[in-house]
Chains A and B, each alone.
Chain A
Amino acid sequence: DTGVSQDPRHKITKRGQNVTFRCDPISEHNRLYWYRQTLGQGPEFLTYFQNEAQLEKSRLLSDRFSAERPKGSFSTLEIQRTEQGDSAMYLCASSLAVRDEQYFGPGTRLTVT
């Protein structure tokens, strides 16, 4: 257990529905990252926050994807109008700004039927 938690661990949804995932980072970590991982591949970076500021979001996969970190603590990732191609593991990681190593949570596995 790295100290990064994600909820839910699994989500099954029907195509067209909206889903929201939550990530709670290690408490003193001011950087928070979202990644997506498909079967057999390494994680793919989506977006990251430093405190409450979203500093990089150009790699979000489409405008259906959005993320927030309103108080600089937990973060949410929302996918609107889900598609079957969104089925993947969504991973959250956190780090201290002055250090580089990122610690990952267990992930949320999304299945879109």
Chain B
Amino acid sequence: GESVGLHLPTLSVQEGDNSIINCAYSNSASDYFIWYKQESGKGPQFIIDIRSNMDKRQGQRVTVLLNKTVKHLSLQIAATQPGDSAVYFCAETGNQAGTALIFGKGTTLSVSS
């Protein structure tokens, strides 16, 4: 069935390091992927997205990489800051874009200064 999962439930880094958060998806027909950041007590915050016709997309301090061969998605955060501490979710729209998002369980990123 369709599912989106993450490799590690927690990731601890030092301030200034680069962080890499990974996600594996199972639906090879998925054509759109999103990364969200969720702080405690708040709703998910859109970070960056990527379509299946791309393998890399960059934003401000963040890069998303998509490897369709192994159905793997990653989020790279450059120069990680304490304010980046949160739970990160990847999500996909499965076969149909613009409808329901399917979320994984999330990775908790802890940044120590």
Contacts and interface: CB of A to CB of B under 8 A. Distances in A.
A11 to B, nearest CB: 14
Nearest to A91: B43
Size bin of chain A's contact surface? 20 to 34
Contacts, number: 66
Interface stretch (B14-22, B44-52, B72-80): B44-52
A101 B34 contact: yes
A107 B42 contact: yes
A91 to B, nearest CB: 5
Contacts of A48: 99-100
Contacts of A35: 101
A33 interface: yes
A104 interface: yes
A65 interface: no
A41 B105 contact: yes
B103 interface: yes
Interface of A: 2, 4, 31, 33, 35, 40-45, 48, 55-56, 59, 91, 93, 95, 97, 99-107, 109
7 contacts: A42-B104, A45-B101, A48-B100, A55-B99, A95-B98, A100-B49, A105-B43
